[in-house]
């Protein structure tokens, strides 16, 4: 997700720092929850693939590891998708692999319709981070 913030802890009490870090982490994980909430539910395991990566002290990244994440977020132009994964998905989801053929034809003719889920989650995080920095004097 696309923003960074750098915070200086000079002259701050341990209680202040701990309170700030807790609120920051709460926002990170609430953002992950929002992305999962907004993600299309009928598409494979997308929601399970939205995870928080921790890169050292208080550096977080929210990512979606599904190979079709970008296609779901932004949509696509028409293309010929591989049929086997669509048939497997349709059989698992609906008990009928023929639905996979219908989806394949739709993708080939119209592309994949966008279903933004990370973007609204990022927008939420930005608003919450602005509130956090205002509250903590940033």
Q: What is the Cα–Cα distance from 13 to 1, expressed in whole angstroms? A: 30
Nearest in space to 43 (alpha carbons), one of 102, 93, 82? 93
Residue 116 tokens read as: 């933004």
54-58, 95-99, 134-138: least confident range: 134-138
User: What is the value of pTM for the model shown?
Assistant: 0.83
Residue 46 burial (10 A CB sphere; 0-12, 13-18, 19+): buried
pLDDT surpasses 70 at 115: yes
Flag whether pLDDT at 9 surpasses 60: yes
Helices (H) and strands (E) in the chain, counts: 5, 2
Label residue 98 by pLDDT band (50, 70, 90). very high
Which one is predicted more confidently, 114 or 14?
Answer: 114
Handedness of CA 126, 130, 131, 137 (dihedral sign): positive
Q: Minimum mean pLDDT among 47-61, 96-110, 116-130: which range?
A: 47-61
Residue 127 pLDDT grade (very low, low, confident, very high; cuts 50, 70, 90) = very high
């Amino acid at each position: 997700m696309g923003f960074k913030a750098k915070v200086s802890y000079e002259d701050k009490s341990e209680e202040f720092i701990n309170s700030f870090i807790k609120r920051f982490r709460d926002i990170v994980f609430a953002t992950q929850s929002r992305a999962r909430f907004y993600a299309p539910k009928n598409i494979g395991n997308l929601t399970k693939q939205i995870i928080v990566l921790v890169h050292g002290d208080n550096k977080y990244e929210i990512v979606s590891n599904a190979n079709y994440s970008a296609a779901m977020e932004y949509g696509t132009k028409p293309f010929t998708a591989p049929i086997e994964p669509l048939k497997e998905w349709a059989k698992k989801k609906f008990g009928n692999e023929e639905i996979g053929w219908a989806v394949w034809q739709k993708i080939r003719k119209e592309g994949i319709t966008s279903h933004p889920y990370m973007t609204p989650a990022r927008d939420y995080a930005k608003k919450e981070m602005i509130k956090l920095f205002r509250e903590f004097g940033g």
